[in-house]
C-alpha cells in the first residue's frame, strides 16, 4: 500500500461517525462555512484530494446530498469506495468534469502537496459555477511548525511527501490571479496530538508569540 494509502487507512481506522450536533461544535473553518450554506440538498459539492472521504461523510450528515470526491491515490480511493462514497481516482489539476459543474469545491489540506498550485486553482475555477465557493486550508508559513517540518524532512521521517506553506499575502494573490474573490481568511493553532503532545504545546505557545498559526483557512468565490 502507498504512503498516502496508509494515511487514508489510519484516518478511516480513527474515524468515528459524528452527529450533526458534534459537527456543529467543530472548530474546522470549512465545516463552519458549509454549515452556513442554505439549500444544502440542492448544492453540488466536490472535495478535491479527498483521501478516504471522512470529510465527505460529514458533508452528508450536514444535509448535502450531491457530494463527490476526487483523489489521486488509488489505495485511498478504494477505502472511500468501501464507504459507499462517490469518489473517483484522478488529478485535481486535470479533472474529468465539464466546466461550471459544482456549486462548492472544498480542498482540505490538499493543494499544498504539489508544486503546480496555480494549475489546481485554475482547474477548480473551471469546474465551479459562477459565484461558486472554494473553501480551503493550507499550512501557514509564519509558524514554527514549518521549522519542525523541515527538520523531519531532512531526517527522512516526514510522512506527507511534498508539502509547501503559504503566507496570507501569497495565498490571496494566487487566488485573485486565478479568478477568485477572497471573502474570508482565518487561522488555526496546531492541534494537540497524542504522539508528541509536549512538542505541539510548545509550538502552539511559540506561534502565539509571533501571531502565527498552524493553518490558514480561506473562503473564496469564483468571479
Mean pLDDT score across all residues of the chain:
87
Domain ranges of the chain: 3-140+165-191+215-222
Share of the chain above pLDDT 70, in %: 80
Rounded distance between C-alpha atoms, residue 214 and residue 133, angstroms = 23
Q: Which CATH class is domain 3-140+165-191+215-222?
A: alpha beta
Provide the 3-class DSSP secondary structure of residue 93: coil
- Per-residue pLDDT reduced to its tens digit, 101-156: 999 999 999 999 899 999 999 999 999 999 999 999 998 877 766 666 666 666 66
Is it the case that residue 198 has pLDDT exceeding 70?
A: no
> What pTM did the predictor assign?
0.87
* Closest to 108 measured CA to CA, from 192, 178, 31: 31
- Per-residue pLDDT reduced to its tens digit, 63-87: 999 999 999 999 999 999 999 999 9
Residue pair 163/114 in contact by the 8 Å Cβ criterion: no
Secondary structure (DSSP) of 171-211? HHHHHHHTTEEEEEEEEEPPP--SSSHHHHHHHHHHHHHTT
pLDDT at 160: 62
* Closest to 192 measured CA to CA, from 208, 204, 176: 204
Is it the case that residue 181 has pLDDT exceeding 90?
A: yes
Share of the chain above pLDDT 90, in %: 65
- Max CA distance (Å), the chain: 48
For helices 74-82 and 3-14, the axis angle rounded to 10 degrees is: 20
Per-residue pLDDT averaged across 4-22, rounded?
84
Rounded distance between C-alpha atoms, residue 205 and residue 197, angstroms = 12
- DSSP classification of residue 39: -
C-alpha dihedral over 121, 122, 124, 128, to 10 degrees? 130
Highest mean pLDDT among 160-164, 194-198, 202-206, 216-220: 216-220
Rounded distance between C-alpha atoms, residue 221 and residue 223, angstroms = 6
Residue owning grid cell 502565527? 212
Amino acid at each position: 500500500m502507498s504512503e498516502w494509502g496508509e494515511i487514508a487507512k489510519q484516518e478511516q481506522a480513527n474515524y468515528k461517525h459524528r452527529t450533526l450536533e458534534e459537527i456543529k461544535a467543530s472548530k474546522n473553518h470549512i465545516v463552519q462555512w458549509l454549515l452556513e450554506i442554505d439549500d444544502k440538498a440542492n448544492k453540488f459539492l466536490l472535495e478535491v484530494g479527498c483521501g478516504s472521504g471522512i470529510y465527505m461523510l460529514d458533508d452528508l450528515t450536514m444535509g448535502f446530498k450531491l457530494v463527490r470526491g476526487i483523489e489521486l491515490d488509488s489505495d485511498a480511493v478504494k477505502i472511500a469506495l468501501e464507504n459507499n462514497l462517490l469518489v473517483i481516482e484522478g488529478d485535481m489539476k486535470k479533472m474529468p468534469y465539464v466546466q461550471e459543474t459544482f456549486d462548492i469545491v472544498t480542498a482540505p489540506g490538499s493543494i499544498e502537496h504539489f508544486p503546480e498550485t496555480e494549475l489546481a486553482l485554475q482547474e477548480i475555477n473551471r469546474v465551479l459555477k459562477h459565484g461558486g465557493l472554494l473553501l480551503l486550508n493550507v499550512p501557514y508559513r509564519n509558524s514554527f511548525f514549518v521549522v519542525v517540518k523541515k527538520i523531519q524532512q531532512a531526517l527522512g521521517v516526514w510522512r506527507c511527501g511534498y508539502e509547501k506553506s503559504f503566507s496570507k499575502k501569497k495565498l490571496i494573490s494566487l487566488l485573485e490571479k486565478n479568478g477568485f474573490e477572497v471573502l474570508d481568511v482565518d487561522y488555526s493553532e496546531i492541534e494537540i496530538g497524542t504522539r508528541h503532545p509536549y512538542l505541539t504545546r510548545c509550538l502552539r505557545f511559540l506561534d502565539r508569540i509571533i501571531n502565527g498559526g498552524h493553518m490558514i483557512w480561506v473562503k473564496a468565490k469564483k468571479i
